[in-house]
Structure formats: C-alpha cells, structure tokens
Amino acid sequence: MKLILLGAPGAGKGTQAERISERFQIPTISTGERLRAAMKEGTELGKRAQSYMESGALVPDEVVIGIIKEYLSSDSCKNGFILDGFPRSIPQAEALDAMGVELDAVLSIEVADEKIVERMSGRRVCTECGSTYHVIYTPTKVSGVCDKCGTELTIRKDDAPETVLSRLETYHSITEPLKEFYSEKGLLITVEGQEKLEDTSALVNAALSRFE
C-alpha cells in the first residue's frame, strides 16, 4: 500500500503512521523526522533546514523532494510505504507524480485548530528514538522518560504556542489545498480525529480495511 497521511501539525499523523506501519508491515517516511535528525547531526541539510523549522515555516520544496527521492529509491519501500508530512504543497505533490509514484490512498485526519493548539502544548518527544507522547492522551509509564529507550523527553522547539499558530496558518494556506488535489484524483479518505487516540485508530483501521 502506498499511502499519504495528511493533516494539520499535531493532528496525530505520526502516531497513526506508526500503527499503520505495524499493521501493514510497510515503512513510514517522515520528512520532519529526517530533518530533525539532520539538525541534530549538524549536517548541511540540517543547517539549511533549521531556521525554517524553528520558525514554523516550510523547508524549501527542493530540499524535501530530494529526501523523498532518496527514500523511495531504497529497497525497503518496494512493498509500499506511508508518507507522513510529505507532500505539504502542490509542487511537492506534482514532484511525487513526476517520480511515477502510484498512490493507493491519501488519508486526511481532521482536527479543529483549537484542539490542535491544546494538543501541541502537551506533546513530548524523544530525541533519541523519535517516539512521541502526550502528557494527557498518551503519557509515558514514568513521567518525562521515553518508554522505548529510557531517554529524557523534550518539547519540540516548534511546538511553542506562537510557532504552532504560524504552522497552522501555513497548513491552511499551502498544505490544505492538497485535499482538493487528491479528491479530484479519487484518492482522498477523510477521518475525524477523535478525543481518544484509540477511537481515531479504529476509524483509520476501518477506512483502510479494503487494502488488506
């Protein structure tokens, strides 16, 4: 299955991607994760992306398109993949088309802006293994420590309230038009993000059952 996950920042794409990945045994490709790793390593890519990411802006299209090209040409993607956070603009979607990628579905997780702001304030991440938690909705067993690798959790710089608002603005103006783009191709599936993670997962499972 070749799937794109769409949705505002904090809508739960990363968490759902993890679950879909386990269920269908296909890898998740997250451009955000890749860029954060590059920043941590201090590579040229990381340096180039840093100011955009920290201000909540999108990294230039050619940078993320390069990342995706590299991933999609690897063997691990030959049975399918989930794209989490890509494409985020029409030119990125067109670039994916130009790579000859034939998608099965584009799943959009819908969450109201007010909810997003509330959720982002409680988000905690592990910089070591990339796991994401929420202090109320998906807490760790030991407060502030990653369940998977024991590393102390941190708050993403771009989860600061003012940055979240600018990321939402960017989402509505640049990313959301992708819904129409994919709806016209008959690929769009919409799921309402629920209060409880398990409820959203159940809706996602039902929406994707025809691909099993």
Q: In what helix (H) or strand (E) does residue 165 lie, and over which residues does it extend?
A: helix 161-170
C-beta closer to ligand AMP: residue 40 or 206: 40
Q: How far is the CB of 212 from ligand AMP (least distance, A)?
A: 26
CB-based burial of residue 203 (10 Å sphere; 0-12 exposed, 13-18 middle, 19+ buried)?
Answer: middle
Binding flag, residue 64, ligand AMP (CB under 6 A): yes
Active-site residue, from 13, 34, 119, 124: 13
Please tell me which residue in 2, 36, 119, 156 is annotated as part of the active site: 156
- Minimum separation from the CB atom of position 30 to ligand AMP (A): 6
Task: For ligand AMP, give the closer residue by CB, 15 or 92.
Answer: 92
The verdict on whether 78 is a catalytic residue reads no
Contact 83, 4 (CB under 8 A): yes
Contacts with ligand AMP in 43-62 (CB under 6 A)?
Answer: 52-53, 56-59
**Residues 6+ positions from 159 with CB-CB distance below 8 Å:** 10, 120, 121, 123
88: annotated active-site residue: yes
Site residues for ligand AMP, 139-158, by CB under 6 A, read: 158
Q: How far apart are CA 107 and CA 158, in angstroms?
A: 24
Counting contacts by CB under 6 A, is residue 133 touching ligand AMP?
Answer: no
Rounded distance between C-alpha atoms, residue 107 and residue 6, angstroms = 6
Q: For the chain, what's the residue count? A: 212
Which residues lie closer than 8 Å to 166 by C-beta, 6 or more apart? 55, 56, 57
The least CB distance from residue 85 to ligand AMP, in Å, is 3
19 is catalytic: no
Angle at 123 between CA 198 and CA 177, to 5 degrees: 75
Q: Which stretch binds ligand AMP (CB under 6 A): 31-39, 103-111, 126-134, 138-146?
A: 31-39
**DSSP symbol at 52:** H
Taking the complex as a whole, how short is the minimal distance between the CB of residue 10 and ligand AMP, in angstroms? 8
Residue 31 binds ligand AMP, judged by CB under 6 A: yes
Dist CA 192 CA 76 (whole Å): 30
- List residues binding ligand AMP (CB under 6 A): 9, 31-32, 35, 52-53, 56-59, 64, 85-88, 92, 158, 167
Catalytic annotation, residues: 13, 88, 123, 156, 167
